[in-house]
Amino acid sequence: MAQHVQSLIEHYGYFGIIVILIGGIVGLPLPDEVFLTYVGYSVYRESLGHIPALVSALIGAMGGITLSYYIGRRFGLPLLQKYGPKIHITEQKIEFTKKMFMKVGPFLLIAGYFIPGVRHLTAYIAAINNYPYRKFAFFAYTGAFIWTFTFITLGKVLGEKWRFVGYYLSHYSMYVILLFVLVMLIVYYLFKKRNVQK
């Protein structure tokens, strides 16, 4: 993977970062976190600038999530159900994300980036649920910044050990998902409790 990414970055530079992240967010089966970590490693090696890499990644993530939202508004759930399985977006993932979005939509738009399979769906689900674009953009773009900054900086800090991120993601991603669900449920409970007290 590293060789292919390295070749892509050498040939297309920051534009390549944008294109890969747009494709990854829309739903192509790309290891986005590993890619972002490698971008951070490239910053560590000084073959990319830190700020330009962050800006390019942010543009790519924002572009991908916006395109997903537009597709959801234009074509709706049937398209996702028909073509989703071809890019590893299953009916179970769709239902899970719909239920979570109904409960904690804004939090899901921000934190969903950190869960493979969920970040590919949040924009579609938001659009299908007629979530206002301004609210969607605020939370989704905030999440895009946090996500890209986290993994690029992680790759820069880890340096030669950047591959550890891919290893831990492949071995412990299920635990991360379970922890995320637990946190979302706690946040939802506290939010509802506060509203009831008002």
Identity of residue 166:
G
177 located within any domain: no
pTM for this prediction: 0.76
17 located within any domain: yes
Crossing angle for the helix pair 133-158 and 32-44, to the nearest 10 degrees: 50
Residue 161's Cβ-count burial label (10 Å; 0-12, 13-18, 19+) is exposed
Crossing angle for the helix pair 163-197 and 133-158, to the nearest 10 degrees: 140
The residue-averaged pLDDT of 92-102 equals 74
Here the tokens at position 33 are 């976190």
Mean pLDDT of the chain: 79
181 located within any domain: no
> What pLDDT does residue 173 have?
52
197 located within any domain: no
Residues composing the chain? 198
Please choose, from the candidates 57, 44, 75, the residue with its C-alpha nearest in 3D space to the C-alpha of residue 13.
57
What does the DSSP assignment read for 41-102? Answer: HHHHTTSS-HHHHHHHHHHHHHHHHHHHHHHHHHHHHHHHHHHGGGGT--HHHHHHHHHHHH
178 located within any domain: no
Could you tell me the residue range of the domain that residue 87 belongs to? 1-171
Number of domains in the chain: 1
195 located within any domain: no
Mean pLDDT is highest, among 66-70, 108-112, 170-174, for 66-70
| pLDDT, tens digit (0-9, with 9 covering 90-100), for 110-162 | 888 887 777 778 888 888 888 889 999 999 999 999 999 988 998 898 888 87
176 located within any domain: no
